[in-house]
């Protein structure tokens, strides 16, 4: 199994899951800023030009955070990354989808890639501001779902690694403050050896 990732990108959440599972895996970093995701060597593997990209042992390629997380969790039941109860399973799915489809795709993507949303540079500040609003609103909502709990569904699961990459981004952004429950969740995540190993390997602090 090989994870193609970019340091500090959303692939960090999948990196943490692989560390939680604890089986040997390879990693291959790419530099998004240098556009490596659009080079033929990469698009031959993943034509979507995105990380995380998971190369499985049978040679097949899996993309999209929730699909990779689901695959890793269900193919490694001993790691207990997938909640047992149906209600917790749907809440984990709900959180992952909201993190990826709303906070990341509609929020963070606007903040860091405004040209993908508005061709005219004159509009980019407005696009960035809208992205930051979407991102902050999403974090506030996720904060409420953490109320009274250590992890998204009570026990650690795939959903926490999705929330973690958002928290990592917000924590590193000078104009953003993590709401209280997310801040506590972020610290809880940083204390996990899996997170420490993944961050160290990606050269993050
Ligand atoms: N829907 C995808 C989103 C993946 C994504 O947008 N990844 C970013 C890094 S956080 C990326 O690879 N961006 C490169 C680009 O868009 O050129 C998923 O869930 O995996």
Question: Are the C-beta atoms of residues 52 and 4 closer than 8 Å to each other?
Answer: yes
Q: Is the CB of 9 under 6 A from ligand 1?
A: yes
Angle 94-97-99 from CA coordinates, rounded to 5°:
105
Q: Which contacts qualify for 30-39: CB closer than 8 Å, 24 or more apart?
A: 30/4, 30/5, 30/6, 31/6, 32/6, 37/6
**pTM of the predicted model over 0.85:** yes
Q: Is the CB of 10 under 6 A from ligand 1?
A: yes
Query: CA 61, CA 81: separation in Å to the nearest integer?
Result: 21
Q: How far is the CA of 7 from the centre of ligand 1 (A)?
A: 12
Say which CATH architecture domain 86-192 belongs to.
Answer: Up-down Bundle (1.20)
Q: What is the CA radius of gyration of the chain?
A: 17
| Coil/strand/helix, residue 3 | strand
Q: Identify the bridge partners of residue 63 per DSSP, sorted by sequence position.
A: 53
Instruction: Report the CATH number of the 2-80+198-202 domain.
Output: 3.40.30.10
> What pLDDT score was predicted for residue 114?
97
Residue spans per domain, the chain: 2-80+198-202, 86-192
Query: CA 127, CA 141: separation in Å to the nearest integer?
Result: 21
pLDDT digits (tens, 9 = 90+) for 114-150: 999 999 999 999 999 999 999 999 999 999 999 999 9
Q: How far is the CA of 42 from the centre of ligand 1 (A)?
A: 13
**Residue-by-residue pLDDT tens, the chain, 205 positions:** 999 999 999 999 999 999 999 999 999 999 999 999 999 999 999 999 999 999 999 999 999 999 999 999 999 999 999 999 999 999 999 999 999 999 999 999 999 999 999 999 999 999 999 999 999 999 999 999 999 999 999 999 999 999 999 999 999 999 899 999 999 999 999 999 999 999 999 999 8
Residue of the CA atom closest to atom 18 of ligand 1: 64
């Amino acid at each position: 199994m090989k994870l193609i990732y970019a340091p500090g990108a959303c692939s960090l959440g999948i990196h943490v899951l692989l560390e939680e599972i604890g089986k040997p895996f390879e990693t291959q970093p790419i530099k998004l800023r240098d556009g490596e995701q659009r080079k033929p060597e990469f698009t031959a593997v993943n034509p979507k030009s995105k990380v995380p990209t998971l190369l499985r042992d049978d040679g097949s390629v899996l993309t999209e955070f929730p699909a990779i997380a689901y695959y890793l969790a269900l193919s490694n039941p001993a790691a207990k990354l997938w909640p047992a109860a149906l209600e917790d399973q749907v809440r984990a799915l709900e959180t992952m989808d909201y993190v990826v489809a709303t906070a990341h795709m509609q929020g963070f993507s606007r903040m860091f890639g405004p040209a993908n949303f508005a061709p005219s540079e004159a509009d980019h500040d407005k696009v960035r501001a809208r992205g930051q609003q979407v991102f902050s609103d999403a974090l506030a909502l996720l904060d409420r779902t953490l109320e009274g709990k250590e992890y998204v569904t009570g026990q650690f699961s795939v959903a926490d690694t999705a929330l973690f990459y958002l928290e990592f981004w917000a924590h590193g952004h000078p104009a953003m403050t993590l709401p209280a429950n997310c801040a506590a969740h972020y610290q809880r995540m940083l204390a996990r050896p899996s997170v420490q190993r993944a961050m160290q390997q990606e050269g993050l602090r």
